[in-house]
Chains A and B, each alone.
Chain A
Amino acid sequence: MGAISLRNIVKRYGTGPKANQVIHGVGAEIADGEFVVIVGPSGCGKSTLLRMVAGLEEISAGEIWIAGVKVNDKEPSERDIAMVFQNYALYPHMTVFDNMAYGLRIAKVPMSEIRTRVDQAAKILELGPFLARKPRELSGGQRQRVAMGRAIVRKPAVFLFDEPLSNLDAKLRAQTRLEIQKLHGELRTTSLFVTHDQVEAMTLAERMVVMNAGRIEQIGTPDEVYHRPATTFVAGFIGSPPMNLVLGEAKGASFQTGGQHLPLAAPAPRDGALVLGVRPEHVEIVEQAPGWPLRVQAIEMLGAERLIYGTLGETLFTVRLDATLAHPKIGDVVGLRADPAHLHWFDATTSARVEARPVATTAAP
């Protein structure tokens, strides 16, 4: 009932040849009850996409279906959605109760029903003691919960979240993330959540949509996106520190980059120009001779682990090292061994993923 279907959505501002197209034919299917996170760098069009689903932004081309109804020309209030805004957008002059009840009042829901629904939402969100207060008397986290309460009381088919956690401090953000997860577990309402924070995306999403420059780069579970990134963009965007991407020339079981010759445990998927991707956590430091030579330039101590920054050939390369292990010094040249099961290959021109040849040791992630 709460499924969302995006069909070839286009958004452009202005008309004619000078039109500025910001979303280039985006399509996605979101099942009823699913929690989908749209993630991408700022300016990638993810908020615009969400606002188009909400009906706050017009769609230049394509179709949006919510719960089996085409909603292109419907007002936001007729789309059976509720939205949580980044700055919460609470009505400053109304009490918490009135903020939550406003939409229901307009919908002419009987007062007794409004009372029960608001009380119920207040109970779930632990807002009971604050119902008579004004938003300015609440802390950031409480305001955020009121904004969610306002969405909950409407019992919509779809929740839309527009970076709702970005105005909270780190600790509260982690806590609210858990609350949202718990809430979704209880209500099972289809949710579309926009964020630029990959940690939020990874932890909250059942499936995530990675966007870049108005296009969808990949749709998949956090596991899929992390272990099998579809493009170099996804590979570089998801994961912290990001995946090392080395451009070079593959020939059989060797990879040539910046004058360096890197031996591979298994032959590359094909010969020619490729991008080799390997995450910092899938590399270990070994003897110099058979390993890839890394010239260490900086070391960061993060408590449980150390990040070793250096150059491999001419490419910057990061290695994540358990802090208990011996570590090299700045200026050293050390050998690296990448876990052959965790090598990623991308086409050098299209930047799309190239599947590795099946190897006995390459277990599926």
Chain B
Amino acid sequence: MVERRPLLTFLTHTVLLIGVAIVAFPVYLTFVASTHTAQDIVQAPMPIVPGDQFVHNYVAALTGSEKGAGSGAPVGRMMWVSLVSALVIAIGKIAISLLSAFAIVYFRFPFRMFFFWAIFITLMLPVEVRIFPTYKVISDLHMLNTYAGLTIPLIASATATFLFRQFFLTVPDELAEAARVDGAGPMRFFKDVLVPLSATSIAALFVIQFIYGWNQYLWPLLVTTEESMYPVVIGIKRMIAGGDAQNAWNLVMATAILAMLPPALVVVLMQKWFVKGLVDTEK
């Protein structure tokens, strides 16, 4: 809207600023808390300006050199576990979805629609619903406390398959035919034409799935029992001992900030692609 009304401009900015404050203040408090000693934070009122323990707290959290009442596993290791899991989940989901969508859209095989609906119906079965059988399978396969156990059950993705299917359906048939005339086999066509055309969708999906993988809580909580295989989200939970125990809240907060960074980084760095992938219609 192009309207020149100073009062309106003022009002809209005020609303926006309030919105920013509501969203950003807890994050800011987390950051402040991560720069004080544990004693300082638990006193009321809690300090609202950053303290001088920044370096000490973050080094302590990353290396696990200082233990509170809960788990004191090094966050550096957890970040690594989280990163690997999130990447494997995101890349695995994209790879499998691309291939299954390719098969469903471009090939005529018996029970094609059956497979499509079978995939589609799994939308109704997220991890939470099938958690016991899945756990049993993973446990019987001795995949507890492994990257495989952390990632494989989360990779199959009906949403992404469906998204790519819809995208492939919009690709003109003539493109596939032109490729056939040019002598490109199916996989060549997939690699040279479909994947490059889906680049923006892939980027958008990567952002969403990376964050999905990074933020996994319930599943890793079940399949990881060793500190060395904790993802960072579980790590935070394990650092907080129950009851009246004295928790190292400064380290918990430092870990929380560290856990927030990679997803934020992915969003910031891939924002351009992400938005393009969601809104782009001109291919």
Chain A residues with a Cβ under 8 A of chain B:
54-56, 75-77, 81-83, 85-93, 102-103, 106-107, 136, 150
Contacts and interface: CB of A to CB of B under 8 A. Distances in A.
Contacts of A103: 181-183
Contact of A91 (B180, B183, B193, B199): B193
A103 to B, nearest CB: 4
A102 to B, nearest CB: 5
B169 to A, nearest CB: 16
Contacts of A102: 179, 182, 184, 192
13 contacts: A56-B181, A76-B177, A76-B181, A77-B182, A77-B184, A85-B177, A87-B172, A89-B175, A92-B283, A102-B182, A102-B184, A103-B181, A106-B184
B277 to A, nearest CB: 14
Given A76-B177, A77-B180, A77-B184, 6 more contacts: A77-B183, A88-B174, A89-B174, A91-B179, A102-B192, A107-B183
- Nearest 4 CB-CB pairings of A with B: A77-B183, A89-B174, A103-B182, A89-B178
A82 B181 contact: yes
Contacts of B179: 91, 102
Nearest to B176: A89
A106 B182 contact: yes
Tell me the dominant secondary structure on chain B's binding face: helix
Contacts of A136: 282
Interface residues of B, number: 19
B51 interface: no
A89 B188 contact: no
Given A87-B172, A136-B282, A93 B196 contact: yes
A54 B283 CA distance: 27
Contacts of A87: 172, 174
Contacts of A107: 183
B177 A89 contact: yes
Kindly name the residue among B172, B178, B179, B196 whose own CB sees the greatest number of chain A CB atoms within 10 A. Answer: B178
B105 interface: no
A89 B197 contact: no
Nearest to A93: B196
Given A89-B175, A92-B283, A106-B188, A56 B180 contact: yes
Contacts of B282: 136
A102 B179 CA distance: 9
A83 B178 contact: yes
Kindly name the residue among B177, B192, B197 whose own CB sees the greatest number of chain A CB atoms within 10 A. Answer: B177
B97 to A, nearest CB: 20
A290 B179 CA distance: 65
A88 B183 CA distance: 17
B170 to A, nearest CB: 12
Nearest to A147: B178
B182 to A, nearest CB: 4
A89 B196 CA distance: 15
B106 to A, nearest CB: 14
A176 to B, nearest CB: 19
Contact of B174 (A75, A86, A150): A86
Contacts of B193: 91, 93
B268 to A, nearest CB: 26
Contacts of B192: 91, 102
Contacts of A90: 178
Interface string B181-211: 1111000100011001101000000000000
Nearest to A103: B182
Contacts of A55: 180
Nearest to B182: A103
A75 B283 CA distance: 28
Contacts of A76: 177, 180-181
Contacts of B283: 92
B197 A81 contact: no
A107 B188 CA distance: 12
A92 B193 CA distance: 9
B105 to A, nearest CB: 17
Interface in B253-283: 282-283
